[in-house]
Structure 1
Amino acid sequence: MYRKEFYVFDQDQPVPAVIRNYTERDFPALIRIQQESFPPPFPSELWWNAEQLSNHVALFPEGALCIEVNGEIAGSMTGLLVDFDPAHPEHTWEEVTDGGYIRNHNPNGNTLYVVDICVRPSQRKLGLGKWLMSSMYDVVVHKGVDRLLGGGRMPGYHKKKHEMTADQYLAAVVKGELKDPVITFLMRCGRTPVQVVANYLEDEESCHYGALMEWRNPFRMTK
């Protein structure tokens, strides 16, 4: 099981933090954080429910991480193992994560797939999302799989949809010409784009697109 103790900084003030595997006793706090992190127009039916969280800790506890700050849960990140074929990358979030229930978790999969990452809005200034992402990279290395992969929302795209395609939007973010709240964050965490996927997730702000973003295991990199 995973446990990392360290400090985050609220301006110049060190604050104790812990990243660990979440358990059943954490479920109410995790659901509250989902509600705070993904307010409308994000669909409420995509917030975690107790059955999904139970599956996470039963089927792949190594991929069920939460972060505590001063002893209070402030965010979480969840993944499952899948067998990903880079030659056929098209999929939806619903298909690859079993709608968040991860009953399709493959212990022999080659890829750690991100189901979700969220941080309580009031604590995002502490850099907790980047710490969670770094810890999931630890799981990639520990499990010896090829990559961490996930589809990032593009919530800034709806403002530009009449000016450019989704592919052009992603390219502009990668070039630094535009900044997207999610894609730019993922790039800051070390993730790189694979491609845009249409109808990836029910998300009006992203016009239902997702950008597949990966982090390759540096111990398994191939040309």
Structure 2
Amino acid sequence: MHKELYVYDGQKHHKVLIRNYGKEDFEGLIRIQQESFPPPFPSELWWNQEQLENHISLFPEGALCVEVDGRIAGSMTGLIVSYDPAHPQHTWEEITDSGYIRNHTPQGNTLYVVDICISPLYRKLGLGKWLMLSMYDVVVHLRLQRLLGGSRMPGYHKKSQEMTAEEYLAALLRGDFHDPVVSFLLRCGRMPVAVLSNYLEDEESCHNAVLMEWRNPFYKGQ
């Protein structure tokens, strides 16, 4: 992957490069995780060296980063899995091998998002959406059926005494309120499939997630 573009911050344009990350990027990628997921997000879920080594060796096509003016500002990582729509329930640890992706299945049908994060310093530039669109390119290039991933719902803890996670999602889709992650993915073209219980240790989401899909419009089957 090598994609160049410009983004505008309201005052000036910034040159952006989306590319596959490598070993030389590991320090910057771990820094971005720390900046993007501060406490109460569990620090043990930040990337470690072994996980990143696996990403670039097992599925380098799914290891993307974004640079702004030559500095790494975000990343997105995926793996290929065999997904059965009849059985959507899973946890993040199960489907991503706790981020080590040793269960990457090249003959699978679905690109599963392990993680996407943008440094807070760069979050007004639309970089998350550009990374997501670039991962859609990978789905099309590899002729997979879909992109799939569990979305945090960090606004849910504010509503959890009033409604279930399913009711929270329904209210979001009606436009009753905004969720910083689910609403972002909706703007990226992702469609909700199901609420996943006990998906990830995530107090803000009350440990829930929304399974969200983007179907490859060019997929014609085998």
Specify the TM-score bucket, using the shorter chain as the normaliser.
over 0.9
Matches of 2:84 and 2:43, distance apart in 1:
31
In the alignment, which residue of structure 2 is the partner of 1:16? Answer: 15
Q: Which amino acid aligns with 2:13?
A: P
Instruction: List per-residue Cα deviations over 1:196-223 (Å, max 9, x = no partner).
Output: 010000000000001000100001279x
In the alignment, which residue of structure 1 is the partner of 2:68? Answer: 69
Shift of residue 178 of structure 1?
Answer: 1.5
Instruction: List per-residue Cα deviations over 1:155-185 (Å, max 9, x = no partner).
Output: 0000000100000001111111121010000
Equivalent residues in 2 for 1:47-196, closer than 5 Å: 47-196=46-195
Identity %: 71
Matches of 2:170 and 2:23, distance apart in 1:
41
Equivalent residues in 2 for 1:192-211, closer than 5 Å: 192-211=191-210
Matches of 1:187 and 1:221, distance apart in 2:
24
Q: Which amino acid aligns with 2:43?
A: S
In the alignment, which residue of structure 2 is the partner of 1:5? Answer: 4
Q: What runs of 5+ residues in structure 2 fail to find an aligned partner?
A: none
Matches of 1:103 and 1:219, distance apart in 2:
28
Matches of 2:108 and 2:213, distance apart in 1:
15
CA RMSD of aligned residues (A): 0.9
Q: Secondary structure at the match of 1:20?
A: strand
Q: Which amino acid aligns with 1:200?
A: Y
Shift of residue 86 of structure 1?
Answer: 0.1
Matches of 2:121 and 2:23, distance apart in 1:
24
Q: Which amino acid aligns with 2:91?
A: T
Shift of residue 12 of structure 1?
Answer: 4.0
Matches of 1:148 and 1:9, distance apart in 2:
28
Q: Structure 2-normalised TM-score?
A: 0.98
Instruction: List per-residue Cα deviations over 1:52-88 (Å, max 9, x = no partner).
Output: 0000000000000000000000000000000000000
Instruction: List per-residue Cα deviations over 1:12-31 (Å, max 9, x = no partner).
Output: 41110000000000000000
Matches of 1:12 and 1:175, distance apart in 2:
34
Matches of 1:94 and 1:221, distance apart in 2:
31
Judge which range, 12-21 or 102-111, deviates more: 12-21
Matches of 1:102 and 1:205, distance apart in 2:
25
Q: Which amino acid aligns with 1:110?
A: N
Matches of 1:12 and 1:146, distance apart in 2:
40
Q: Which amino acid aligns with 1:194?
A: V
Instruction: List per-residue Cα deviations over 1:109-134 (Å, max 9, x = no partner).
Output: 10000000000001100000000000
Q: What runs of 5+ residues in structure 1 fail to find an aligned partner?
A: none
Q: Which amino acid aligns with 1:124?
A: R
Q: Secondary structure at the match of 1:212?
A: strand
Deviation above 4 Å: which 4+ runs of structure 1?
A: none
Matches of 2:145 and 2:59, distance apart in 1:
17
Q: Structure 1-normalised TM-score?
A: 0.98
